[in-house]
Amino acid sequence: MKVICLGAHILDILGRPVPDIPPGQGRRVLDEIRITAAGTAGGTAVDLAKLGADVVSIGPVGDDVTGRLLLDLLAGHGVDVRHMARRPGLATPATMLPIRPNGERPALHAPGAMATLTAADVPLDLVAEADVLHVGGPDVLGDFTRDALPDLLRFAASHGTVVSMDLLSVGRPELVDVLRPAWQHTGYLLPNDDQIRGVTGRDDLVEAAGVARAAGVGTVIVTTGAEGCVVVDDGGVVRIPAFEVPVVDTTGCGDAFTAGLLVGLGSGRALADAARLGTAAAALVAQGLGSDAGIVDLPSTLAFGAVA
């Protein structure tokens, strides 16, 4: 299975546990600090590679140490980074995450080069031959999303490449008009509950999913953290519960969900089984620090989720 992960690739620096930031110049000793390749495209790329997919990453990074480290981490997981867009003089997108004792993850983010992607960065021959084009974070890619993404996704869909999409920011209502032309060609939209509510202005998740489906999205899966997810498509509404696991850090759970879902669909599984594989991948990530924690490979993820 060939997947292109296009969009937000972020270097995450995580520490735990951080119940609060010490006042003044106070100091706190942590159990653990990690650095990972993350982001709605980058984190998903790592998880997809672990689950056995051939993954090409395309996203903007700076030419700084942070960028070299990010590319090295991605490549170490087997992700093809030859098409990452290096931006001289700009900083690589990065996030500091002080993880609370309950696993919650406030994020302190510097976008750097994030909004500099252009159509010229995306080789169309790769898009045509991929099984899936996953767009991670169209809401943070600046002009690219309005100017280039609709045509790119139309091209992908017309070549039989399945398009999936996840958001990065807390959704804003003005985004809906920017995303609508891209949604026409989107097979799977995978936001979390806050994001789909923020973008559509609808509180009810099924109604909110309906707004995206009315704009052309085939299947909307809204992830709802520890509750699980809500799958909305032509077949109706299905709720899939999360696994009850000891949570360390939920960073990247949504990215892992995406990876599991795509691998499930790519291996011919029914939508509900693919979503269950996504749920299993997410539960594994929740049990360690960082978006690359927990998942080892496909057989162990299938076994954990009791997915046939």
Ligand X SMILES: Nc1ncnc2c1ncn2[C@@H]1O[C@H](COP(=O)(O)OP(=O)(O)OP(=O)(O)O)[C@@H](O)[C@H]1O
- For ligand X, which stretch binds (CB under 6 A), given 11-19, 176-184, 205-213, 251-259? 251-259
Instruction: Provide the binding-site residues for Mg ion, judged by CB under 5 A.
Output: 254
**Contact between 245 and ligand X per CB under 6 A:** yes
What contacts 239, CB < 8 A, 6 or more positions away? 228, 229, 230, 231
250 binds, among Mg ion, ligand X, none (CB under 5 to 8 A by kind): ligand X
**Contact between 209 and ligand X per CB under 6 A:** no
Provide the strand spans (E) within the chain. Answer: 2-7, 10-16, 32-38, 54-58, 60-62, 85-87, 94-98, 108-110, 132-136, 162-166, 188-189, 219-223, 228-233, 236-241
**Contact between 137 and ligand X per CB under 6 A:** no
Among 111, 150, 225, 260, binds ligand X (CB under 6 A): 225
Nearer to ligand X, 161 or 251 (CB): 251
Nearer to ligand X, 263 or 283 (CB): 283
User: Under DSSP, is residue 283 helix (H, G, I), strand (E, B) or coil?
Assistant: helix
Give the count of beta carbons closer than 10 Å to the beta carbon of residue 196: 25
Nearer to ligand X, 125 or 244 (CB): 244
Among 224, 233, 238, 267, binds ligand X (CB under 6 A): 224
Least distance from ligand X to the Cβ atom of residue 171, Å:
11
**Contact between 304 and ligand X per CB under 6 A:** no
Cα-to-chain-centroid distance, residue 1: 18
- For ligand X, which stretch binds (CB under 6 A), given 13-21, 69-77, 127-135, 217-225? 217-225
- For ligand X, which stretch binds (CB under 6 A), given 53-61, 81-89, 118-126, 240-248? 240-248
**Contact between 229 and ligand X per CB under 6 A:** yes
Among 59, 112, 198, 252, binds ligand X (CB under 6 A): 252
Q: What is the rounded distance in angstroms from the CA atom of residue 181 to the CA atom of residue 193?
A: 21
- For ligand X, which stretch binds (CB under 6 A), given 63-71, 76-84, 202-210, 244-252? 244-252
Q: Which residues, listed in sequence order, are joined to residue 36 by a DSSP beta bridge? A: 12
Q: Are 272 and 238 in contact (CB under 8 A)?
A: yes
CA-closest candidate to residue 79, choices 39, 138, 107: 39
Nearest residue (beta carbon) to ligand X: 254
Cα-to-chain-centroid distance, residue 49: 14
Q: Are strands 219-223 and 228-233 parallel, antiparallel or unpaired?
A: antiparallel
Q: What is the rounded distance in angstroms from the CA atom of residue 102 to the CA atom of residue 190?
A: 24
Least distance from Mg ion to the Cβ atom of residue 220, Å:
14
- Binding pattern for the stretch 158-197 against ligand X, x by CB under 6 A and - elsewhere: ----------------------------------x-----
What dihedral do alpha carbons 43, 209, 140, 136 form, nearest 10°?
30
Least distance from ligand X to the Cβ atom of residue 120, Å:
28
Among 64, 255, 273, 292, binds ligand X (CB under 6 A): 255
